[in-house]
Each structure stands twice: as C-alpha cells, then as structure tokens.
Structure 1
C-alpha cells in the first residue's frame, strides 16, 4: 500500500472543522436518538454508551450533511468510524466531497 492509497489522517483535517463537527454531532444526537443525552464529549462512545444503531448512525450522517450543508463520502464509512463522536468527526472531516 502506498501513501496515496491511505485515507486522510485526522491530523491532516482542519482542527476548527473537526471541532465544528464534534459540536454538531453533539447537538444532533438528541434529535436522532429521540431522547436526551447528557455529557457528550468527543470521547463518548456512540454505539456502546449511547446505543446508536446502524440506522440511527446513517440518520446522523444525513442530518449532519443537511445542517452543515456538506456532502460526505460514505463509501469507506464503517462501524469503527462510529466508535466515538470524535472518530465520526475525524471520518467526516477527511471524507468531504467537493463540487467538481
């Protein structure tokens, strides 16, 4: 595998964008989960701690796209990317689609 084959790292992503994504995910979680969630941080586990399912995970990504007016490539999106709020923000920051 060459360097060109690897996905963009979280370090390469804009830190301000990542922070904005974390904040937006935190704000969207109560709407997507249809319940209050307390004390969500970048380290909060989405599936284990909050009970996010594959269906609600997809809804979260779609809501994030709509809220931030971004298009996110979901081709490589996997279960590991939904590990924590921060890991999802890292994935999104590194997989934004731009208009050609």
Structure 2
C-alpha cells in the first residue's frame, strides 16, 4: 500500500488497540494476545459478516465514519492491515 506515509502513526495505533479491544465483543468469545499481526480470518475465524460488524463497532467507538467503498477482503488480512485501511479512510469530521 503506497499511501501509508499519510497515515498518522498515533491514529493507526489507536485503531489497532481499538480493534483488539472490540474483537471479543464482535466474535462473542475470549480473544487473547491479539496484535497487529493477528490474522482475522485464519487466526480468529472471522467471517465477512463479523468483519462488517467490526467496522461498524469501530465507527461507533472512534466516533468517525469509515469510507468502505474501496474496502476489500485483503484489508481484513490482519489487525494491522485493517488498521492501515481504517486510519487512511476515516471520513473528515463534520
């Protein structure tokens, strides 16, 4: 991804932390030791439905809307790749 230079590292870290915090709620089970290298589909068995739920929960928690137009399956590869996408695609606050 070429636009990672425009991502605020503090914001990205906040998104990583928020994703890890929300995983147990979204997956409805204990998730221990999740980090930005945790693969969402492989390690956690996340489905596209729970992925969407996670994005909605993230919007709620961050109090910002996320542009999902360009979001694809590969954005859900790891916690980090999802954080990269989210941090780079938050819509401006109104």
Question: Match of 1:91?
Answer: 85
Please report the RMSD computed on the Cα atoms of aligned residues, expressed in angstroms.
1.4
Cα drift, residue 51 of structure 1: 0.5
Question: Match of 2:25?
Answer: 31
**With structure 2 as the length reference, what TM-score do the two structures score?**
0.95
Question: Match of 1:55?
Answer: 49
* Structure with bigger gyration radius: 1
Asked whether the equivalents of residues 64 and 93 of structure 2 are also in contact (C-alpha less than 8 Å), the reply is no
Whole-Å separation in 1 of the counterparts to 2:56 and 2:24: 15
Unaligned runs of 5+ in 1: 1-6
1:24-55 CA-to-partner distances (Å, cap 9, x unmatched) read 00000000000001110100000010001000
Corresponding residue pairs, total? 94
Asked whether the equivalents of residues 77 and 91 of structure 1 are also in contact (C-alpha less than 8 Å), the reply is yes
Unaligned runs of 5+ in 2: none
**With structure 1 as the length reference, what TM-score do the two structures score?**
0.89
Asked whether the equivalents of residues 12 and 84 of structure 2 are also in contact (C-alpha less than 8 Å), the reply is yes
Asked whether the equivalents of residues 10 and 93 of structure 1 are also in contact (C-alpha less than 8 Å), the reply is no
Whole-Å separation in 2 of the counterparts to 1:38 and 1:60: 17
1:13-33 CA-to-partner distances (Å, cap 9, x unmatched) read 000000000000000000000
